[in-house]
Amino acid sequence: MEVGENTDIWPDLVQLARLAVNSDSPDVRLYLAKLVRKYRSENPAASQELNTLLKARPEARSTMLRRTGSERVTDPVARSETIPSGLVTEFTSSEPVARPLLSRKLTTDLENLIKERNSVSQLKAAGLKPSSSVFFVGKPGVGKTLTAKWLAQSLHIPMYVLDLARVMSSLLGQTGTNIKNVLSFARSTPCVLLLDEIDAIAKRRNDDLDIGEMKRIVAVILQEVETWDSDSLLIAATNHPELIDPALWRRFDHLFEFGLPDAQLINESLHRFLDRDYQKFEKYVTVLVMMFEGMSYSEIEKALAKYRRAIVIGDATVADVVRSSILPESVDKKDRIDFAKALMDTGDYSQHAVHDLIGVSRDTLRKYKGLQS
């Protein structure tokens, strides 16, 4: 068949080319399998040729597990022999991991965990087992993945991440076996293994809408964690603790909760995310801290990056970008006067402008201005 005879094939070719240039072998294979089925009736020859191509080239040793860390892979071929076939994609990075911004209690707990992991031999000699499995719970963007990387860096071991959502979407029938293989690999290779978004497969088994395969997978995970005894650190992370099977919580040594940053941590994040531009925003710190209350670190970082870009390209001043981001309805009524005062203190807004922005009466603003004089 000439390509011109069927213009509908072009979107398929473009999508296939896009996947190929991104070197995403598993997705290429999945998409090819889809095309085999699609063209089976309307173009049997093309379908057969694609199917032959799939069978002729075995699936690459990659997909579900990715590696991060400062250690570089010097012999990828030899390395792949030790990694579960069909599961692993490796990534390397020489960039140091910044210490995560966390509450004092959580920081102390994590430092104690590091001490334990660095004292494995002493603990075992005393007949004690070091903590080897922890659960991270918190909203997106509060530092769970960054903390896992920081732990791996602190322990001088590589980190692997299992993309559970992707496992489920592409290898549903073999997920239990794949997870067993990954955990066996992590047992034999000192590392930090992060089971991210574990709620994707470790849901409550009393969900009548769930299929039997999912319940068997939960049973596999429970058994594997129950018998976890390794020099590796196993971390499970979730944004939805209410979905997790209650039996799973008991299998982990520690549960660490990651909350949204408080005023002090927001202040610290301003120093980190504004970097060299901090001085430009310094007199707005009080305002920004109040604006960012209830936001995650990733949300704060994105907002500040947006401000910095607008200033660099000359479209706005600091006063402009802050003004454009103030939403009166997002400011709690009990905090509005304090927020208005903080804006007044910058010296960049008139009483009239502050009244229009926040809705605080001009009389209140005049009294505050009078007290300052």
Helix (H, G, I), strand (E, B) or coil at 42: coil
pLDDT in tens, 91-136: 445 568 889 999 999 999 999 999 999 998 899 889 988 898 999 9
Query: What is the predicted pLDDT for the residue at 366?
Result: 82
Same domain for 275 and 253? no
Strands of the chain, DSSP E: 65-68, 88-90, 133-138, 159-163, 192-196, 233-238, 254-258
Asked whether residue 335 carries a pLDDT value surpassing 50, the answer given is: yes
Q: Domain of 155: which CATH number? A: 3.40.50.300
Query: What is the predicted pLDDT for the residue at 14?
Result: 46
Contact 48, 25 (CB under 8 A): no
Rounded CA-CA distance 189/232 in Å is: 7
Phi then psi for 139, rounded to 5 degrees?
Answer: -65, 160
Same domain for 319 and 221? no
Same domain for 364 and 335? yes
DSSP 102-147: --HHHHHHHHHHHHHHTTHHHHHHTT-PPP-EEEEEE-TTSSHHHH
Same domain for 215 and 126? yes
Rounded CA-CA distance 327/333 in Å is: 12
Same domain for 143 and 285? no
> In this structure, what DSSP letter does residue 334 have?
G
pLDDT in tens, 177-195: 777 888 888 888 888 889 8
Query: What is the predicted pLDDT for the residue at 262?
Result: 96
Same domain for 109 and 186? yes
Same domain for 139 and 287? no
| pLDDT tier for residue 355 given thresholds of 50, 70 and 90 | confident
Contact 281, 270 (CB under 8 A): yes
Is the Cα torsion angle 101, 107, 113, 117 positive or negative in sign? positive
> In this structure, what DSSP letter does residue 244 have?
B
The residue out of 198, 230, 258 marking a domain boundary is: 258
Extract the tokens encoding 83: 């990694």
Q: For residues 30-52, give the mean pLDDT.
A: 72
| pLDDT tier for residue 2 given thresholds of 50, 70 and 90 | very low
Q: For residues 230-258, give the mean pLDDT.
A: 88
The residue out of 200, 229, 258 marking a domain boundary is: 258
Q: For residues 273-282, give the mean pLDDT.
A: 93
Same domain for 306 and 237? no
* Partners of 194 in the β-ladder: 161, 235
Extract the tokens encoding 202: 């470790």
**Count: domains in the chain:** 3
Contact 73, 90 (CB under 8 A): yes
Helix (H, G, I), strand (E, B) or coil at 289: helix
Contact 110, 57 (CB under 8 A): no
DSSP 142-177: SSHHHHHHHHHHHHT--EEEEEHHHHHHH-GGGHHH
Query: What is the predicted pLDDT for the residue at 138?
Result: 95
Domain region containing 279: 263-372
Asked whether residue 149 carries a pLDDT value surpassing 70, the answer given is: yes
| pLDDT tier for residue 90 given thresholds of 50, 70 and 90 | very low
Same domain for 89 and 33? no
Of all helices (H) and strands (E), which one includes residue 312?
helix 297-312
Same domain for 274 and 162? no
Same domain for 220 and 268? no
Q: What is the mean pLDDT of the chain?
A: 77
Same domain for 277 and 230? no
Helix (H, G, I), strand (E, B) or coil at 203: strand
Is the Cα torsion angle 66, 70, 75, 79 positive or negative in sign? negative
